[in-house]
Amino acid sequence: MLRLLWGEGRLSEFLEPFARAHLPGLLTELGRAPAAAIERFEAGHIACVRRVRLADGTALVLRAGFVDGSERGAAHEHVNRRLAGRGLCVPAIHCRRTFPFPRGRADVEILLEDYVEGRMIDESMRHDEGLRRALARTLLDLHADTSERPGRPWLREDAAADPVEAALAKAPEWLGRIARQLPEAGPSQTARCLAWLCGAARERVRPAACVFMHGDFCADNLLVTPDGRIALVDLGTMAYGCLEIDIVTAYFGFFERTWWERFCEAYFAGRPERRARFEANAPLFFALHFLRKAASRAVRRRKLREKREEREAESYREECKRFWDGLIALVERGKMP
């Protein structure tokens, strides 16, 4: 019997009847076995992505999203095929279809792709030098694709804004969100942060071209396949932009600083001319990372307090303060992470 493990929300109201009425026909059309179970990923928290286990022991990934003008499905398919064409390890996409959802706010787009067998990157891999080199090669392969303009040209209405300028435009709003949740983030500190960010942005070393960046290059978004390849399983943040974003994200997304430094050595061994630029720009991109993270935690804390979930709200306040303290240490004392 088909087992449905959907989360709550409007998409769940569509997905269960979809699984009964349409999924069997799609699987037959693809020449695949019937579905045995549809379940949430162990490490996942995105309500619209599920694993479909088939009766023959294989599996697919089902992605669902409202057709709302964001072109998420088309973007995912475009990026997936682009990466596959360049030899990177991504799941093969089998179909993308739109289905009516009369009770929803829009129709729903369904995408079915292969489920990639592999291991999550965990603590047991900390000292695996082969893994570190494979991760550096994967990032180098991504960054080998360049463009004169930033953004997502495969989207019809992409603004193609400079990532740093776009972040600076949002910085006052982000600082305001933090200040409303952290009393220690007073007006003088937020003003100093904004002035420092603007100054660092003016002085940065600008690239001759934008690289195809992952946008969230961390252990949660990668798998190690049985043959040792690095599989890219979350493509939603990919765009042409700044290589510094991926390298800074890797600092927080894997293990300790020593591991990251050796990862950087492997990366810059492949493109040594990029090292000086990264070292010059690193303080700015670390600061922007701290700012984004602190602001997102501040928003989450506010929403939890509105629901009177005080214990969880306090954990987000602590996270917000941790990122804020990192930003202040860098801005006021020049202390890198």
Residues 136 and 268 in one domain: yes
Q: pLDDT per residue over 4-24, tens digit each?
A: 343 334 676 787 888 889 999
Q: pLDDT per residue over 242-287, tens digit each?
A: 999 999 999 999 999 999 999 999 999 999 999 999 999 999 999 9
The parent domain of residue 101 ranges over 3-115
Average pLDDT over the chain reads 89
How many whole angstroms separate alpha carbon 132 and alpha carbon 202? Answer: 33
Q: The domain that contains 187 carries what CATH number?
A: 3.90.1200.10
Q: What does the pLDDT read at residue 105?
A: 67
Q: What does the pLDDT read at residue 39?
A: 86
Residues 111 and 170 in one domain: no
For residues 301-325, one letter each, b for 16 or more C-beta atoms within 10 angstroms of the residue's C-beta and e for the rest, the string is beebbeeeeeeebeebbebbbebbe
Residues 253 and 159 in one domain: yes
Residue where a domain terminates, one of 53, 80, 115 = 115
Comparing 55 with 156, the larger pLDDT belongs to 55
For CA atoms 204, 209, 215, 217, give the dihedral sign. Answer: negative
Residues 99 and 28 in one domain: yes
Q: Using the predicted structure, report yes or no on whether residue 45 has a pLDDT greater than 60.
A: no
Residues 144 and 285 in one domain: yes
Distances (CA, A) of 41 to 44, 61, 196, 262: 5, 10, 41, 31
Residue where a domain terminates, one of 88, 115, 142 = 115
Q: Residue 202 is encoded by which pair of tokens?
A: 């003016």
Residues 206 and 327 in one domain: yes
> Domain count of the chain?
2
pTM: 0.88
Q: Which residue has the tokens 């950087």?
A: 264
Q: What does the pLDDT read at residue 104?
A: 64
